[in-house]
Amino acid sequence: MSKRTNTTGRRRVLKGAGLAGLAGLAGCIGTGDPAPSDGGTETSGNGGSDGGGSSTTSSGPAMAQSAEVWGWDVAAKSLDLIDDPYESEHGGDITITQIGRADMKDKFKSTLLSGSGAPGAAMMESVDAASWVDTGGLRDISDWLAEAGIKEEFVPGKWGPLEKDGGTYALPWDIGPVGTFYRRDVMEEHGIDPTSVETWDQYIEEGKKLPDGQYLLNLPSNDYDGLWRMMFRQLGGQPFTSNGAVNINSDKSLQVARILKRLRDSGVANDLASWSSAWFTAFGEGTTASLTAGAWIEGTLKAELGDTAGQWGAIKPPAIESGGSRATNWGGSNVTIAKQVDDETARRAWDYMAYTLGSKEHQLTMYKEYGIFPALESAYESEAFDQGSEFLDGQEAGRMFAEIAPEIAPYRYTVDTPEVTKAINTHFRDMMTGNKTPKEAIDAAATQVADRTGRDLA
């Protein structure tokens, strides 16, 4: 029986409300931002060995017969792809439970804080890692990881936010090398060639060719922080200095704020809430012609807007300035086990995690079906990244992302990253409405983070 059939029969599929919950994203699934609780740095890199086999552990307590794994959107669907192969080879019964992204984050973190109710394993976005590890509610998987011998298979920068005081609290899954995905049909109709664009300023000028009611991209007020972080990282910016001072009012941050303000004032961007039904509809109808996101977005677009297959293309994200870097990251996920989970269930969950994420074969299966870009470096050598994507009109975008991945600058995530998110969104809303200048917005955001965390300003 196929996995999808099984899902209907024995898997609970819990969905958040509407498309927003559904698409909260595979992991969005993308590169994160972490560091050991107060200043670790996430980087990307290359190298590693083959990573081809199943890498499970053989010692420890007996495994439970079953384990449940929580995930969202196409990430949950991706895990489901490896369910049947795992059960055929290792026995047991793995249940993949799909929950809306925001709901799952709230639900899982509440189990960590309360000490009860956690599944066998759950996905964890890299941006949340430092704060979740800091709860003390995650299981240290160091011994199992060492026994499996797969740590060196992953991009080294993924580990920072997953580790604290010598312990390791999750297994990396994917990263999110960024691309700008665009509607070929819309761009061609209005004489725009995205492949000729190098910088954001050039992209804005091209967007002015579009008629009223037709937007180049979206600037969602609920996600200014995501755009800011993506561009800030592209410049090599760090939200916190190495000694922990707040650094989001730096010159690089000001450059980014000014570009976002120019995008807003130029009239080429609408302001639909990201992951809303209206947001997806606009991409489906082509009234929003492009979006910049992690490589994982292709899987979500395929899943939600399948009838637009062949009408999309992808380029590297525009540079902040001419000659500047076009490599950055957005998103990235991992899979973790709560400390409260009993040993037998935890071992079953780990066995499934290592089999699924520690295998080149299985990572490529998820990449091919849903575009989940692996953090398992050995997978980059695969010819799968040289194959044209039907959704992207035959474009070999996988190789472009594989080339971007090693060039992504490090980024420092801390337990106070959520305060940065809140501050950027709050004060950039004022900036967009004209109540603050870009300089006033970043200064106010930095002061807010410093006040709420007790950190110094850089």
Return the pLDDT at 11: 32
* CA nearest to 62, candidates 331, 347, 306: 347
Return the pLDDT at 409: 87
φ and ψ of 107, to 5 deg: -65, -45
Q: What angle do CA 432, 324, 249 make, to 5 degrees?
A: 40
Q: What angle do CA 385, 391, 396 make, to 5 degrees?
A: 30
Look at residue 86 and give its three-state secondary structure: helix
Return the pLDDT at 111: 96
Q: What tokens were used for 172?
A: 């990396």
Give residue 236's region: left, alpha or beta (phi > 0; psi -120 to 50).
Answer: left
φ and ψ of 177, to 5 deg: -55, 135
DSSP 158: G
* CA nearest to 215, candidates 280, 156, 287: 287
Which residue positions in the chain have pLDDT lower than 70? Answer: 1-61
In this predicted model, what pLDDT tens digit does every residue of 354-400 receive, in sequence order?
A: 999 999 999 999 998 888 999 998 888 899 999 999 999 999 999 99
CA distance 254 to 443: 9
Place of tokens 């290359």: 46
CA distance 436 to 442: 9
Look at residue 403 and give its three-state secondary structure: helix
* Beta carbons of 411 and 33 less than 8 angstroms apart: yes
In this predicted model, what pLDDT tens digit does every residue of 307-365 receive, in sequence order?
A: 999 999 999 999 999 999 999 999 889 999 999 999 999 999 999 999 999 999 999 99
Return the pLDDT at 17: 28
* Beta carbons of 141 and 168 less than 8 angstroms apart: yes
Instruction: Using alpha carbons, list the distances in angstroms from residue 108 to 27, 97, 138, 172, 331.
Output: 15, 12, 11, 18, 18
Return the pLDDT at 61: 67
Length of the chain equals: 458
* Beta carbons of 36 and 345 less than 8 angstroms apart: no
Half-sphere exposure (CA, 13 Å, Cβ side) for 92? 24
CA distance 386 to 384: 5
